[in-house]
Amino acid sequence: MPDDALLQRRHRLLGTQAPLFYERPLHLVRGEGVWVWDGDGRRYLDAYNNVPHVGHCHPHVVEALCAQAKTLNTSTRYLDEQILGYGEQLTATFDESLVRLALCCSGTEAIELALRIARACTGNDGVIVTDFCYHGNSSTVAALSTAFLGPEGIDPRVRTITVPEPYRLRDGVDPDEAAMAYAADVATAISSLAEAGLKPAAILFDTVFATEGVPTVPQGYVEKAVALVREAGGLYIADEVQPGFGRTGTGMWGYQLYDAVPDLVTLGKPMGNGHPLAGVVARAKLIDDFTQRAMYFNTFGGNPVACAVGRAVLEVIQREGLVENAGVVGAHLQEGLRTLGQKHAMIGEGRGHGLFVAVELVTDRASRAPATAEAKAVVNGMLERGVLISRTGRHDNVLKVRPPMPFGKEHADQLLAALDDTLAAL
Amino acid sequence: MPDDALLQRRHRLLGTQAPLFYERPLHLVRGEGVWVWDGDGRRYLDAYNNVPHVGHCHPHVVEALCAQAKTLNTSTRYLDEQILGYGEQLTATFDESLVRLALCCSGTEAIELALRIARACTGNDGVIVTDFCYHGNSSTVAALSTAFLGPEGIDPRVRTITVPEPYRLRDGVDPDEAAMAYAADVATAISSLAEAGLKPAAILFDTVFATEGVPTVPQGYVEKAVALVREAGGLYIADEVQPGFGRTGTGMWGYQLYDAVPDLVTLGKPMGNGHPLAGVVARAKLIDDFTQRAMYFNTFGGNPVACAVGRAVLEVIQREGLVENAGVVGAHLQEGLRTLGQKHAMIGEGRGHGLFVAVELVTDRASRAPATAEAKAVVNGMLERGVLISRTGRHDNVLKVRPPMPFGKEHADQLLAALDDTLAAL
């Protein structure tokens, strides 16, 4: 069926506003590893999708899925070995204080649960987030997802802070000093909550600040922000929905980039390689206190099929050395971006963590004016050159490169060549 | 591994409060059709689980799952034929006004989305629910799930009404007249909202009132309640997470039991036969207005694997005549319960819709005093006799029988015999 006809059927079923990528919507029919194919048989290098974390349709994951789906799929209201085997393997990758697990179906559900736990256990209601973040789509979570606020607006119990973007500091300003000043804004947020009769239940961060544009946050910033919240009686929720499962290349979790252990960690997207699997890992006392007071049950969360899939994902990450690969190939990409930057003045900065790579495009290096329209053109130009990427950041001028984890140097080189060509053709 | 050791590992991983069925927790290892097996190889008749709707591990559903999982699993940000084929087939089973679909991962997410749409499109904030309901586990939905309120308590924007339970009306009271009086409480709820400066965005019902104990709600009650809410500017959200997909035996949807077409319908549990799949079906204008104003995207919702699974579930329902079966076997169960009632005075009333069967146990038929402790003993006694059921209702004295849909007369007879035996042994 031609893409136009598909689009018309889609508009009748989902409405015209359901989000689609690209000016020319892409009709995908097959995926394998870092590759996807469209309806015309054209192959694309996937440098964007983080959900198929260990690669599209990874055979080990598909095999685990099918074997368990043929055997049993119930709920956590029965004793089951799958959740124990998986959960023990998963929690072993966290700090030794983070031993309890609650599984659910989506990142939104994980954030919902972490917030409910934080509010119930602290007795406080305030939440501090950044001023350009995204954490999910429920009414509570949408009302603190400051990058895409809905018709509800912002929750009156929420205060926002601005994350330091060293690239955008004025020349001569010391990034480390600036970062301390930015962190001090947490104290202002706490005061503002206090004026409304509120105290902080938590500070909630995506640990690579993905929606914020993946700024290179100086050491000490997160640590100070978290310390201020803790002094005021709040907890630290690390949102690992985007950074987690080894993408940073330096460890399994984004929070390990900083010297602060979270109280609650939220997991999602890459966890099941596309299977709806998400969860919260937390200190024992938090889960125990909350579940003493709330009947929390999630019908599909932690079912045997989801756990078999989650376990297979962990096994592939380990067997295929994907954390190390993210570090090596991420460094290779950054090096390539530096080289490209010598040729294309539009590249303001390449940065990121492992295989979470950001390329900030500017129309002028001196003023660092965001190249928003150009970034859009680059994303669409890369599609025409067979490479999938997207963009992010408050000016929508930061190319977002976040491929499946088996992305190799040869794939990085293909991406860099396509970017070179796209920028040259602008 | 012995069950005691599993339980200890579970307590370390999930805490001691994660809900489990039965006094002797059941360790399941395999499922097929209406049967499940424990770790010792003992077989149980599953007369409780509605999530494996077309039967545990149905081969057609597993085959569709595996075929798609091997091929492609992405998101709705690409054009995809699976969601169109499935969505068109699904919406065709609804009233002709209900044409738009938004897919997500859980019943909680579906309720969240329906409430966000209702509030955004009406401009109102109030919600009317029953005083003993359950709709999910997010902070917003938990705060209106009156049967299991959490530490947050009830949302101040929520008002509750009591559903008529004809079985519990005083002798001589006409159920139809009583029902109209109960429905008039909706007007009181609307007045109470108005006193707080609020108007109703929606009335939200589980269309078989499952948590409420599956009362035989007289004709006219739902219709009048909905009409009052509509007059006040609110919408009707039909929660089909439990009743939907043919369980009532009279049609695909519980709302068809009444003469009122919903504005929004929420779907969940049985939709993917255990795969995390849920959604909202709605009038076009509601989805279109909402998505003009909110960026709604659900990472896993509507992905090709979920849609392939959902489509296979619809195909099995049709091919195997499961709606008709639910009607026939449900009637057979009710007849058997009437016969058992002649022998066991504890059976106050058998009632329900198709294969959603409720058996109200009482210690005394004249006073209808709830047999709560006895109901618990019956549920555990049935387990020892190889049949899985549970209980519901505000007094927790209503046996809940809600088997996978291929439940036949022979299975019903086995259940009735076990119930006979269990009641005799009390």
- Parallel, antiparallel or unpaired: strands A235-239 and A264-267: parallel
* Residue A287 to residue B15, Cβ atoms within 8 A: yes
pLDDT band at B103 (very low <50, low <70, confident <90, very high): very high
Could you tell me which residues come within 8 angstroms of residue B228 by beta carbon, excluding any fewer than 6 positions away? B183, B184, B186, B187, B190
Quote the pLDDT of residue A2.
82
What distance in Å separates residue A260's CA from the closest CA in chain B?
Answer: 23
Kindly state whether residues B63 and B42 are assigned to the same domain.
no
| Final residue before a domain boundary, out of B285, B319, B353 | B319
pLDDT mean over B323-334: 98
Give the CA distances from residue B52 to residues A64, A264, B254, in Å, rounded to whole numbers and listed in that order. Answer: 19, 32, 18
Q: What is the CATH number of the domain that holds A340?
A: 3.90.1150.10
- pLDDT at A192 > cutoff 90: yes
Structure tokens at A22: 């690209």
Q: Are residues A259 and A166 in the same domain?
A: yes
- What residues of chain A lie within 8 A of the CB of B87, using their CB? 13-14
Is residue A60 within 8 angstroms of chain B, CB to CB? no
**pLDDT for position B130:** 98
Q: Identify the closest residue of chain A to B49 by CA–CA distance.
A: A74
Check if the interface score ipTM surpasses 0.95. yes
Note whether A126 and A63 are same-domain residues: yes
A1, A106, A295 ranked by CB distance to B105: nearest? A106
> Rounded distance, CA A82 to CA B82, Å?
29
Q: Write out chain B residues lying below 8 Å of A73, CB-based.
A: 31, 51-52, 56-57, 273-275
Q: Which of B297, B319, B341 is the last residue of a domain?
A: B319
Do A36 and A159 share a domain, yes or no?
no
Could you tell me if A79 and A93 lie in one domain?
A: yes
| A115 plus A184 within the same structural domain | yes
Per-residue pLDDT at A171: 86
Identify the domain boundary among B287, B319, B351: B319
CATH code for the domain in which residue B147 is found:
3.40.640.10
Task: Write the CB contacts of A84 (distance below 8 Å, at least 6 apart in sequence).
Answer: B6, B9, B10, B13
Q: Under a CB-based contact definition with an 8 Å cutoff, are residues A246 and A405 in contact?
A: yes
Mean pLDDT, chain B, rounded, equals 97
At B171 the pLDDT is 86
Domain identity same for A67 and A35: no
Alpha-carbon gap, residue B195 to B197, rounded angstroms? 5
Give B263-316 pLDDT, tens digit per residue: 999 999 999 999 999 999 999 999 999 999 999 999 999 999 999 999 999 999
Q: Are the C-beta atoms of B303 and B74 separated by less than 8 Å?
A: yes
Kindly state whether B156 is in contact with chain A, defined as any CB-CB distance less than 8 angstroms: no
Identify whether residues A345 and A199 lie together within a single domain.
no
Which residue range is the domain that position A209 belongs to? 59-319
- Name the CA radius of gyration of chain B, rounded: 21
Length of chain B: 426
Banded model confidence at residue B367, pLDDT cuts 50, 70, 90: very high
pLDDT at A39 over 90: yes
pTM of the complete model: 0.98
CB < 8 Å from B in window 300-339 of A: 300-301, 303, 305-306
B104 in contact with chain A, both atoms CB, cutoff 8 A:
yes
Judged by a CB distance cut-off of 8 A, whether residue A74 touches chain B is yes
pLDDT band at B395, cuts 50/70/90? very high
Q: What is the mean pLDDT of residues A107-122?
A: 98
Total domains in chain B come to 2
- The 10s digit of each residue's pLDDT in A375-417 is 999 999 999 999 999 999 999 999 999 999 999 999 999 999 9
Q: What is the mean pLDDT of residues A39-59?
A: 98
Instruction: Answer yes or no: do A133 and A277 share one domain.
Output: yes
The sign of the dihedral angle between the CA atoms of B70, B49, B422, B322 is negative
Pull the structure tokens for residue B180.
């109209």
**How much is the pLDDT for B393?**
97
Same domain, residue pair B48 and B133: no
Q: Scanning every residue of chain B, which has its alpha carbon at the shortest distance from the alpha carbon of A110? A: B138
Asked whether the beta carbons of A124 and A116 are under 8 A apart, the reply is no
- In this structure, the answer to whether residues A400 and A297 fall within a common structural domain is no
pLDDT by residue (tens digit) across A225-237? 999 999 999 999 9
Query: Looking at the complex, does the CB of residue B122 fall below 8 Å from at least one CB of chain A?
Result: no
- Predicted confidence at residue A183, as pLDDT, reads 94
Residue A1 has pLDDT above 80, yes or no: no
Judge whether B341 and B382 are in contact, CB under 8 Å. Answer: no
- What lies within 8 Å, CB to CB, of B259 at 6+ separation is B219, B223
B326 in the same domain as B392: yes
Residue A64 DSSP one-character state = H
Judged against a pLDDT cut of 90, whether residue B1 lies above it is answered with no
The residues, ordered by sequence, that sit 6+ positions from A173 with a Cβ below 8 Å of its Cβ are none
Continuous segment of H or E residues that includes residue B170: none
